[in-house]
A and B are shown apart, each in its own frame.
Chain A
């Protein structure tokens, strides 16, 4: 079945540093989503991407939909302590009916003040 891989699995960075993480798939997706999960909470959508090559920003976050439609990237600039959490990528292949969203295993981010 469809599977997503995320790298790195975990990151420990200093406050103020930039962060890059990516997500790859063996399958093509029409939609890429990036979610963040805070400890003890449910995932919250950060950015949604709908077109190959699309680059979208949300504050200090920037995400890109890969040209091959098999990957996506998330960058966080000037990290702060509240960026701590697990970042999930998710892919969806929308055809004529609803296709379920496939989630990656997540990248755990720790920010050292």
Chain B
């Protein structure tokens, strides 16, 4: 199994630009999570999906952030417009079911100049 796949691995962009992060969960996993990791705030859950439906987006910082899961094998996290304070590592994770272990992807390191 390839594990959770994220792309790109690194992204450098300028303030105001749109950023799209992509995630392919492990096949058969019903839950997908987006996390943000920074030195100041640690690992924060942004949003999670169950069977492609957003369940809890209370962690999404503001309206500039949006996430979609059009099918069971693909999800995106979009930031528009990006700001320097969005610089962080963004992780996608998936889980096979209710209360089950989450498997993390390698992360996307985002730097907004």
Give chain A residues whose Cβ lies under 8 Å from the Cβ of B45.
100-101
Choose the segment among B12-20, B69-77, B80-88, B100-108 that binds chain A (4+ C-beta atoms closer than 8 Å): B100-108
Contact with A along B45-58 (1 / 0, CB 8 A): 10010100001100
Would you call B93 an interface residue if the criterion is a C-beta within 8 Å of the partner chain's C-beta atoms?
A: yes
Give, as a whole number of angstroms, the nearest-CB distance from A20 to chain B: 21
Interface on chain B toward A: helix, strand, loop, or mixed SS? strand
In the bound complex, CA of A30 to CA of B103 (Å): 20
Give chain B residues whose Cβ lies under 8 Å from the Cβ of A92.
99
Contact with B along A29-45 (1 / 0, CB 8 A): 00101000000111111
Give chain A residues whose Cβ lies under 8 Å from the Cβ of B43.
43, 88, 103
Q: Are A94 and B99 in contact (CB under 8 A)?
A: yes
Give, as a whole number of angstroms, the nearest-CB distance from A12 to chain B: 19
Which chain A residue has the least Cβ–Cβ distance from B40? A105
Q: Are A98 and B107 in contact (CB under 8 A)?
A: no
Q: What count of chain B residues pass the 8 Å CB interface test?
A: 20
Contact with B along A86-113 (1 / 0, CB 8 A): 0010001010001011011110000000
Give chain B residues whose Cβ lies under 8 Å from the Cβ of A76.
none
Give chain A residues whose Cβ lies under 8 Å from the Cβ of B42.
103-106
Other A-B contacts than A42-B107, A48-B101, A98-B31, 13 sampled, CB-CB below 8 A, are A31-B99, A33-B101, A40-B107, A42-B91, A42-B105, A45-B101, A45-B103, A88-B43, A92-B99, A94-B99, A98-B55, A104-B42, A106-B42
26 sampled A-B residue pairs with Cβ under 8 A: A33-B101, A40-B106, A40-B107, A42-B4, A42-B93, A42-B104, A42-B105, A42-B106, A42-B107, A43-B43, A43-B91, A43-B104, A44-B104, A45-B103, A48-B101, A88-B43, A94-B98, A94-B99, A98-B31, A98-B55, A98-B98, A100-B45, A101-B45, A101-B102, A103-B43, A106-B42
